[in-house]
Structure 1
């Protein structure tokens, strides 16, 4: 994978925060982007106040929607909180404002649903968490069962841990493969999980059934939120 020459100006990379964001959706790419030479990384929310993730980790924004500079890369992570963000006008307005000037419009996990709700994935192929795959088409996106999906300047990652693969792919696009591989080596990103249950295609049937039962009510609620957001988008 080749890329344009090194940018002369610092890259402005922004990751949006919101309550109940999945911390690994956010911290995986953050670690990669923070290793990228010549990059300014911004953590963005409505206000400069602590944001509680879906774990005990509390995150602190570095800038607000109002004060954020024009970004080269805008990234929306996923998490349970995306169900609220797909109908949050402040979030959607911020994404729409940033999108025309951004080099890459991106997401990890269910963050793609928020991009979709902002009208930024219509006609684009996109990846997401396996539990959200059936919802993407409501926003005119084309669901893609890949770890990372690149379609023009839309770069989307699959569920949670795919955020690291996503970020390394984006580094190669922004800089070059050598830089991306050097960051991968620095992070010793060489996954070898003890089980082969990281995808619904490989998980044992009883494990998949257990998870589907566990999230059934949440899926119903998400579907209702998606319907509302899609109706508003038109």
Structure 2
């Protein structure tokens, strides 16, 4: 998959989605306001087998200061949940025990995404909580899970570059080639490391830019990567082909799941 191929696919997919769903919403239209300063932000972060740990841990680290005692790591069962590299994270609450009213509902991506796109219990949980949540959010292929739950129909959204343009439209979303995309009360981040950017942008909306700047400084988030290979356009054809080979099972599985 070459970079020009990706660009052409992005244009075609975006045009098709826009035609299907009509005018795209304004980013700021009906967006939720800040959370009152006198209470913690209520955040539920979904864990599932095969998630990418950094998708969740990065945003959790930057948002945790907003949610003392009200950040819930939820899964079908309490206890350790293995990520796609074998690192386990701990679910503190079951779906049933998760509070019904939330300020943020967050879904990570990962190699386990195709299975979760078919998981009736998870999709039902997301639909139920989304109705009473201020911000419905994801990082990486977590947006495909939101889409499978019917929560991105007609919304502008992003995802990991390997699935953004080909799979998001199958789920009713309008793909956008940006690192973080806000539309109404939906907020989606691109692949893995974009979770840090999503969390800071969301924190600014929840508690103001100064809170987000402070969290960024505490984390010393001032990236200077040793290589410019973080996007297909930067990486070049040979590296894109190598990445395609690694990501091919995820892409195939997500495409099949999206097509039902």
- TM-score of the two chains, using structure 2 as the length reference: 0.84
Counterpart check, 1:150 vs 2:182: yes
Q: Distance in 1 between matches of 2:65 and 2:97?
A: 24
- 8 Å CA contact 1:15, 1:43 repeated in 2: yes
| 1:103 counterpart = 2:134 | yes
- Flag the 1:39–1:103 CA change in 2: closer, same or farther, 3 A: farther
The 1:10–1:29 alpha-carbon spacing in structure 2 relative to 1, beyond 3 Å, is same
Cα gap change, 1:9 to 1:217, in 2 (>3 Å): closer
Contact preservation (8 Å) 1:86, 1:226: yes
- What's 1:127 paired with? 158
Aligned length: 227
Contact 1:11 1:39 in 2 (8 A): no
Question: Equivalent residue for 2:84?
Answer: 54
Task: Give how far 1:38 is off.
Answer: 5.3
2:152 alignment partner, SS class: coil
Give the unaligned 5+ runs of structure 2: 1-27
Higher RCO, 1 vs 2 (CA within 8 Å, ≥6 residues apart): 2
Equivalent residues of 2:42, 2:67 under 8 A apart: no
The alignment yields a C-alpha RMSD, in angstroms, of 1.6
Shift of 1:15: 0.5
Match of 2:123 in 1: 92
When structure 1 is superposed on structure 2, of 64-73 and 6-15 the one drifting more is 6-15
Partner of 1:191: 223
- 2:48 alignment partner in structure 1: 18
8 Å Cα contact 2:43-2:67 kept in structure 1: no
Question: How many angstroms apart in 2 are the aligned matches of 1:111 and 1:29?
Answer: 13
Partner of 1:63: 93
Pair 1:176-2:227 in alignment: no
CA distance in 1, matches of 2:127, 2:249: 31
User: CA separation in 2, counterparts of 1:153 and 1:39?
Assistant: 24
Structure 1 unaligned regions, length at least 5: 229-234
Partners in 2 of 1:173 and 1:214 — Cα distance? 35
8 Å CA contact 2:41–2:103 kept in 1: the answer is yes
> Secondary structure of 1:60's partner?
strand
